[in-house]
């Protein structure tokens, strides 16, 4: 039986890939987005599908539709965008969670929250397991996102305990790939665009801080498996176990892009985590999931996308 699936933030980087995947599996997909960071270009290639529809809607307001599953991805996810209007960012995480959980409660839909590794803050435990509570500054410039996502997790588990809502919580670590916003300020897109434009790569601090990088197709596979696994609320970490310094990433991007870019250094932003890598034992055991695409292979695909985008931004609908 065809499922009716709602994807909030469905025109964003992750959301558009998720909508595409769900349609390929025969689902009836409703994409909800206010297009603050989402893009119509990301989903234009899906518009001709009779089982795909788009609603321009802000999740801070209630939504009254009938659905079987909800993927709640709505929220700016890059520091440039979520710090642009921090109050609205917090509202999107908190009010958005309340409204989507209310919809799930009424329709008896299963609902998945796209949470984040940012709930761990600047971690004192490495790698980070789901049992770690985190070290988060509640009053810093990143707090609108970090604490908004933490509060959303609280709401999900309270709706689960109090109202028996069928929840799933995924903690998403750094993800990259085609359809990343060229101006979003995230490290992979920053480095790739700078390298392709032969500009110096900007590193913050001394470049020794580490991250793990998961290719978008692997991440989407993890989300779909979590949504469709019984008796597993999460939270479940989804991300790559490969850990790289920012300098190592910059050097890889320059080499793969065939660029002559050098490296410049800027001060480290406030509350920027020094280390970030998931413990994915739970995902491996319960979802039989782990990333399959190595960083070099994923960067090759991402760099090819950005080459085409920078040459002709109008040409990449659906790439």
- pLDDT tens track for 238-273: 999 999 999 999 999 999 999 999 999 988 777 677
Average pLDDT of the residues in 187-205: 93
Distance CA 188, CA 165 (A): 36
C-beta separation of 216 from 17 below 8 A: yes
Distance CA 46, CA 58 (A): 21
Residue 318's pLDDT band (boundaries 50, 70, 90)? Answer: low
Kindly report the number of other CB atoms within 10 A of residue 55's CB atom: 14
Query: Among residues of the chain, what percentage have pLDDT more than 90?
Result: 84
Domains of the chain by start residue, with CATH: 4-315 (3.40.50.720)
The kind and range of the H/E element at 300 are helix 295-311
C-beta separation of 242 from 212 below 8 A: yes
Kindly report, residue by residue over 122-153, the tens digit of the pLDDT.
999 999 999 999 999 999 999 998 999 999 99
Specify burial of residue 290 (Cβ count, 10 A radius: 0-12, 13-18, 19+): middle
Closest CA to 257 of 172, 181, 190, 184: 190
Residue 314 has pLDDT above 70, yes or no: no
* Main-chain phi, psi angles of 116, to 5 degrees: -150, 155
Average pLDDT of the residues in 22-35: 97
pLDDT at 185: 78
At 29 the three-state DSSP class reads strand
Average pLDDT of the residues in 63-77: 95
Q: Residues with Cβ < 8 Å from 107, sequence gap 6 or more?
A: 66, 67, 68
**Range in 91-100, 201-210, 227-236 with the lowest mean pLDDT:** 201-210
Kindly report, residue by residue over 77-100, the tens digit of the pLDDT.
767 777 888 999 999 999 999 999
Average pLDDT of the residues in 38-55: 96
Catalytic annotation, residues: 145
Model-level pTM? 0.94
Closest CA to 261 of 168, 179, 196: 196
Distance CA 22, CA 231 (A): 21
């Amino acid at each position: 039986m065809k499922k009716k699936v709602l994807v909030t933030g469905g025109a964003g980087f992750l959301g558009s890939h998720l909508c595409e995947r769900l349609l390929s599996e025969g689902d009836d997909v409703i994409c909800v987005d206010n297009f603050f960071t989402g893009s119509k270009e990301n989903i234009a290639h899906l518009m001709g599908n009779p089982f795909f529809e788009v609603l321009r809607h802000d999740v801070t307001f209630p939504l009254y539709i009938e659905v079987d599953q909800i993927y709640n991805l709505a929220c700016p996810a890059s520091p440039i965008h979520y710090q642009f209007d921090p109050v609205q960012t917090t509202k999107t995480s908190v009010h958005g969670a309340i409204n989507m959980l209310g919809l799930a409660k009424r329709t008896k839909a299963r609902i998945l929250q796209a949470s984040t590794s940012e709930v761990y803050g600047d971690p004192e435990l490495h790698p980070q397991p789901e049992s770690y509570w985190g070290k988060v500054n509640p009053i810093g410039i990143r707090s609108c996102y970090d604490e908004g996502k933490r509060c959303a997790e609280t709401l999900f588990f309270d709706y689960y305990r109090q109202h028996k809502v069928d929840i799933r919580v995924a903690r998403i670590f750094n993800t990259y790939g085609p359809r990343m916003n060229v101006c979003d300020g995230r490290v992979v897109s920053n480095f790739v665009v700078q390298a392709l434009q032969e500009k110096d790569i900007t590193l913050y601090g001394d470049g020794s801080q580490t991250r793990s990088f998961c290719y978008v197709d692997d991440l989407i596979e993890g989300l779909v498996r979590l949504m469709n696994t019984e008796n597993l609320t999460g939270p479940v970490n989804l991300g790559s176990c490969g850990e790289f310094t920012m300098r190592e990433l910059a050097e890889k991007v320059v080499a793969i892009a065939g660029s002559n870019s050098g490296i410049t250094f800027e001060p480290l932003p406030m509350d920027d985590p020094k280390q970030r890598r998931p413990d994915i034992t739970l995902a491996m055991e319960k979802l039989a999931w782990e990333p399959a695409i190595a960083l070099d292979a994923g960067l090759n695909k991402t760099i090819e996308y950005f080459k085409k985008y920078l040459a002709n931004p109008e040409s990449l609908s659906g790439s």
